[in-house]
Chain A
């Protein structure tokens, strides 16, 4: 009996091995009967509106092109990155793959696995702001086009509550914002609803943009590469804004014990006049607010004496599609054609319909909610780096906890800046 089982098992193993081999052969023969087949790896396993938009675009492309066929392979997000890196190490990347900006792309570029998109990049140079395209640039060459953008600093405000404090427009300077906060407190209205229990909102949502306004967008990369220091007058000033806001009683008193979603709900319920959050809050706010016309969205105010671009907002480019450097000339042409078709007006328009912020300015119909339109237009002001997307994890932890300590009066902005610099130096 045991012997039979063993035989069956080895047979199965043989079959499994054979199956592996088969797949390999198929891939090797890129073009079949004149049809160029390109494999695309993605992580679109979840049933989300944007994933449907992406997949629709691909099936549309396949229908319109007889000579090119895009074969989709979806891998759950959690395993995707590991699989990609392993395959890259073995020089076995698929023809096209979904990638994310920053470190995750540059690792692949440095190993020579990706093909620069320089021959076709001009098509998007006009429509997508440079600072967003740059998220995928390594040493002057571009490797992917982002389909969407995540903004991390937007101010949502309740128009009715602002009116009670005597404001019909949202203040554009920090000085005026402080006056608004004082006026709201006088009316007994909580000015800003903040949920900082998880400690990242003050850093990702607040400091990313506030610090950029003071220091400029070059500050962070410079400091990380050793050409600057966190102990910098402008950076400390940015941290002091949090201290100042806390002392003005700008936040709800339970800010350190509630999470981000709870704070958002407080704002939606109308118990606070403002809520600072990223583009992730647009969906829930649109879904839950009773009268959406009462909600406005504004960029962070300008700060006097700041060195940064006053219109930029912290954010990162979303996922893009990169090409393998192993493609043949023929395949390259086909892949370029696909990218041109894929990253077209149609894609961005469909994404906008699903309330996804896109890097280009697209026509929107009257159905589109006003706050989404406004938020989407901020992208054209350019992106500032998001702190937790740029800093090493250890520094993120220090600034997260440090900002919380500032709100509790346990640490001064100067001490935090010094602590960050010390940690950075120790890492080297």
Chain B
């Protein structure tokens, strides 16, 4: 064993597989922030109204959060299967054969297929957070808006969202930090494959460390993940602070 100094980091910066995983990870972050948060917000606003059966919908929405990730991954694997999966079977049965895809087997599609599941899995979590925030909005404010003649649309944009803005920011930060460490779902669904197309940083780190026994290199990747996350979170905090003032 010899001391290699920063050699592992130098190699890391030149490693195309690693940069591919960084790119994929950024896509996961973007999909989470622009997928999970808006969808959760929309559903939360809808469910917050006195709808019939809104409790049932709330439970359904939250269900993926309670399910074990492994269960989710295996279930979605079956849904996506190109031969007998739910999606392809459905497309075939309505005569849209040309739309059937090898959802997880095609390297150009696999990541997007996985992203859908990631969004689906965590929408419930933010839904509950937003619902709690929405219920904290005092009724007086909403009522006075109504008396002033504000439409539902205006109320939502001018009153509801500004009043829960802090919660939305927290959700976004949670979302980013959560998706930077995403591992389990992808590990079970595709194991980073086919041909590295769904590999994110944590999976790359795991494979290098525990499959190839490159503990030093794996540690370098871990340090990079830490720095990357730190920088991103600091940027996000700075951004939002500016807006908040």
Contacts and interface: CB of A to CB of B under 8 A. Distances in A.
Interface in B85-123: 102-105, 107
A257 B80 contact: yes
A197 interface: yes
Most A CB within 10 A of own CB, among B83, B107, B194, B207: B194
A288 B148 CA distance: 73
Interface string A368-398: 0000000000000000000000000110110
A326 interface: no
Contacts of B211: 393, 397
A66 to B, nearest CB: 48
A197 B195 CA distance: 10
A401 B83 CA distance: 23
Given A393-B213, A397-B212, A256 B105 contact: yes
A340 to B, nearest CB: 38
Interface secondary structure of A, over-half rule: loop
Nearest to B83: A254
Interface in B199-217: 207, 211-214
B214 A404 contact: no
Given A254-B102, A257-B104, A393-B211, A410 B81 contact: no
A244 interface: no
B193 interface: yes
A37 to B, nearest CB: 38
Most chain B C-beta atoms within 10 Å of own C-beta, residue among A404, A405, A408: A408
A252 B81 CA distance: 11
Contacts of B107: 408, 410
B212 A199 contact: no
> Which bracket fits the contact residues of B?
20 to 34
Interface in A381-428: 393-394, 396-397, 401, 404-405, 408, 410-411
B196 interface: yes
A405 B195 contact: yes
Contacts of A256: 104-105, 193-194
A197 B193 contact: yes
A125 to B, nearest CB: 36
Contacts of B207: 397
Contacts of B214: 394
Contact of A253 (B83, B191, B212, B213): B83
Contacts of B195: 401, 404-405, 408, 410-411
Interface in B72-87: 77, 80-83
B212 A252 contact: no
Given A252-B83, A397-B211, A257 B191 contact: no
B81 A257 contact: yes
B91 to A, nearest CB: 15
Contacts of A70: none
A396 B211 CA distance: 9
Given A393-B212, A393-B213, A397-B211, A254 B105 contact: yes
Interface of A: 197-199, 252-258, 393-394, 396-397, 401, 404-405, 408, 410-411
Given A257-B102, A257-B104, A401-B195, 11 more contacts: A197-B193, A199-B191, A252-B83, A253-B105, A254-B105, A255-B105, A256-B194, A257-B77, A257-B81, A257-B82, A408-B194
9 contacts: A197-B191, A199-B191, A257-B82, A258-B81, A393-B211, A394-B214, A397-B207, A405-B194, A408-B195
